């Protein structure tokens, strides 16, 4: 695909104050028509289709299932003609509008499946009258699902796309090192999309194929988005963002206590179990140790004690006093 990604060409801007519905009238109209099932819309799934393709997943936030039906040529599959296209889409306003656009372009153009491969995400963006930058991936999803469907058609019709000089290697998306784990984007796929869509920066990659849009750990990691960009386009001389490095995590100061923390905790548990719990149980209550840190004991009172107004007092007076006497003067009890 020639040229940069669509956003620049259309000069669409984010509305002041955040990301809202900066959609073209066409996008809004297609969406509303789709949700209301207006005549001429393409929601649905063709039973026993000639081509079937999917892209995206529910985890990623959008997913498209695209199917088409052909008028089959009796002898030459390459002259099959797509006469019907349908979609089911989980996704936002522009994802649904882009799906409508894809189906409309194909049906109106009377494409053969092979010629449909020339439809790019840019064509979808054009049909919609532009898309906001952050939504370019919706058009890419349409083009990807179409490609997958044509590949599926070729398999069914016994057409060797590679022999036609068409480079559709769907496997590359599934195989290869994962660069963006959040959106499952592999290095070969990333490389191809960077070249095809002319992506020059990390934000452009994210807007187009989502990679790097979630945890961002892959941005500047070794072998991450920036490294792949550098390999494809050559290293940019300057202006690279250098992330501040995190200092070493310092170790905690060692605990100071005559008894080892383990032995102290053991003793506290034993005294609680043998001397304190029985007294509380006699009163219909119970006690549970939540944590012991050095000489601080965090306890939860259960049973009758839990709702007793004097619960905290009971803790302090009984538990703390006994523990202090038996084990260590420094022990403190905190009710949680």
Partner 1 sequence: MSIVYADNNATTRVAPEVFEAMRPFFEDQYFNPSSMYEAATGPAAALKNARASLARHLGGVHPDEILFTSCATESNNTAIFGVVKANPARRHVVTTSVEHPAVLNVCKELEREGLEVTYLPVDRQGRLDIADFVRALRRDTLLVTIMHANNETGVVFPIGELARIAKETDPAIVVHTDATQTVGKLPIDLGGELRHVDLLAFSGHKLHAPKGIGALFMRRGTPCRPLLLGGHQESGRRGGTENVAFIVGLATALELAATTHEADEARVSGLRDRLERELVARIPLVEVNGGGAPRLGNTSNISCHFVEGEGILYQLSAAGICASSGSACTSGSLEPSHVLRAMGVPFTAAHGSVRFSFSRYTTEADIERILAVFPEVVANLRRLSPYWDAAANRPRPEAEGMLHGAPAGHAR
By beta-carbon proximity to partner 1, the closer residue of 300 and 324 is: 300
Using CB under 8 A as the binding rule, whether residue 181 contacts partner 1 is answered as yes
Using CB under 8 A as the binding rule, whether residue 214 contacts partner 1 is answered as yes
Is 305 considered catalytic here? no
Using CB under 8 A as the binding rule, whether residue 291 contacts partner 1 is answered as yes
Sequential DSSP letters for 3-66: SS-HHHHHT--PPTTS------HHHHHHHHHHHTT-TT--BS--SS-SEEEEEEETTTTEEEEE
* Binding-site member from 21, 118, 223, 270 for partner 1 (CB under 8 A): 21
Burial classification of residue 284, based on how many CB atoms lie within 10 Å of its CB (0-12 exposed, 13-18 middle, 19 or more buried)? exposed
| Rounded Cα distance, 92 and 35, in Å | 12
Instruction: Find residue 70's DSSP bridge partners.
Output: 82
Virtual CA dihedral for 127, 167, 203, 174, nearest 10 degrees?
120
* Binding-site member from 293, 302, 317, 325 for partner 1 (CB under 8 A): 293
| Rounded Cα distance, 226 and 239, in Å | 12
Using CB under 8 A as the binding rule, whether residue 65 contacts partner 1 is answered as yes
By beta-carbon proximity to partner 1, the closer residue of 2 and 253 is: 253
Radius of gyration of the chain (CA): 32
Task: Tell me which residues in 132-151 interact with partner 1 (CB under 8 A).
Answer: 135
Q: Point out which span in 30-38, 108-116, 225-233, 264-272 binds partner 1 (CB under 8 A).
A: 30-38
Per-residue binding letters, 249-288, with partner 1 (x by CB under 8 A): xx-xx-----------------------------------
Is 182 considered catalytic here? no
Give the chain's end-to-end CA distance (angstroms, integer).
63
Using CB under 8 A as the binding rule, whether residue 318 contacts partner 1 is answered as no
Catalytic residue among 7, 103, 138, 180: 138
Using CB under 8 A as the binding rule, whether residue 124 contacts partner 1 is answered as no
Contact 43, 88 (CB under 8 A): yes
Using CB under 8 A as the binding rule, whether residue 39 contacts partner 1 is answered as no
DSSP helix/strand/coil, 274: helix
- Footprint of partner 1 (CB under 8 A): 18-19, 21, 28, 31-32, 34-37, 43, 45, 54, 57-65, 87-93, 95-96, 135, 181-184, 206, 210, 213-215, 244, 246-247, 249-250, 252-253, 290-291, 293, 296, 298, 300, 332, 334, 336
> Where in the sequence numbering do the catalytic residues fall?
60, 138
């Amino acid at each position: 695909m020639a040229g940069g990604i669509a956003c620049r060409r259309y000069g669409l801007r984010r509305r002041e104050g955040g990301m809202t519905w900066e959609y073209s009238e066409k996008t809004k109209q297609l969406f509303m028509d789709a949700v209301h099932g207006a005549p001429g819309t393409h929601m649905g799934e063709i039973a026993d289709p000639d081509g079937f393709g999917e892209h995206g997943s529910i985890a990623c936030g959008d997913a498209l299932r695209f199917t088409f039906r052909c008028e089959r040529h009796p002898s030459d599959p390459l002259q099959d003609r797509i006469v019907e296209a349908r979609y089911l889409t989980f996704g936002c306003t522009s994802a649904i509008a882009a799906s409508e656009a894809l189906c409309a372009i194909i049906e109106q153009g009377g494409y053969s499946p092979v010629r449909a491969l020339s439809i790019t995400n840019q064509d979808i963006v054009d049909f919609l009258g532009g898309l906001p930058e952050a939504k370019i991936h919706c058009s890419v999803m349409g083009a990807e699902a179409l490609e997958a469907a044509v590949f599926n058609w070729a398999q069914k019709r016994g057409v060797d796309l590679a022999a036609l000089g068409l480079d559709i290697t769907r496997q590359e998306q599934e195989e290869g090192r994962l660069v963006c784990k959040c959106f499952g984007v592999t290095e070969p796929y990333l490389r191809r999309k960077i070249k095809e869509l002319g992506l020059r920066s990390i934000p452009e990659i994210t807007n187009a194929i989502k990679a790097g849009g979630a945890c961002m750990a892959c941005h500047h990691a070794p072998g991450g988005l920036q490294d792949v960009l550098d390999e494809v386009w050559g290293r940019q001389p300057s202006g690279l963002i250098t992330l501040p490095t995190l200092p070493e995590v310092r170790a905690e100061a060692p605990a100071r206590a005559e008894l080892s923390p383990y032995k102290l905790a053991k003793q506290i548990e034993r005294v609680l179990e043998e001397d304190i719990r029985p007294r509380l149980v006699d009163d219909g209550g119970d006690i549970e140790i939540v944590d012991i840190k050095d000489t601080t004991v965090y306890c939860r009172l259960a049973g009758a004690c839990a709702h007793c107004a004097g619960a905290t007092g009971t803790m302090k007076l009984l538990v703390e006093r006994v523990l202090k006497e038996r084990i260590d003067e420094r022990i403190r009890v905190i009710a949680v």
